[in-house]
Homo-oligomer: A and B are copies of this chain.
């Protein structure tokens, strides 16, 4: 039997974060809570994408990036946007090509560059998935008012900038 991430906390057990949240520093508690939020939402989205559309979350992420780039994206651009390695993207795109959802061709201007774009089939599938995905995210954030979402968005922007400035070392 699978754990079913969506129901795993039906009992009273602790999750990733709550084990720590007693005597720790604010920094650490915030980081654990960030992981906790992200994992929870991500696991729910993964499960629903699989169940409703038969696609993996990384596959969906690739299609989403390509949907926003009508001219296509190079492998490196894809890898930067998804924040994963180039080698990872190679495999993801390979599998989407097999399913006929994306196409890959060499850039005529630079034969090193592979340009990936949605096929008509891929665009159609993403068009069906996107509204559902948006609805799910909206439901999961439904407990917060717009003002709080905006403040959260702004604070995370500053956190992102702060984290980026500490990337090396």
Contacts and interface: CB of A to CB of B under 8 A. Distances in A.
Contacts of A138: 25, 27
Contacts of A7: 167-168
A88 to B, nearest CB: 9
Interface residues of A, number: 80
Contacts of A127: none
Interface stretch (A29-37, A97-105, A106-114, A115-123): A29-37
A143 interface: yes
A50 interface: no
Contacts of A80: 8-9, 13-15
A159 B152 contact: yes
Contacts of A124: none
A56 interface: no
B163 A44 contact: yes
Contacts of A64: 20
Interface string A121-135: 000000000000010
B151 A151 contact: yes
A163 B41 contact: yes
Interface in A42-101: 42-44, 48, 61, 64-65, 68-69, 76-77, 79-83, 85-86
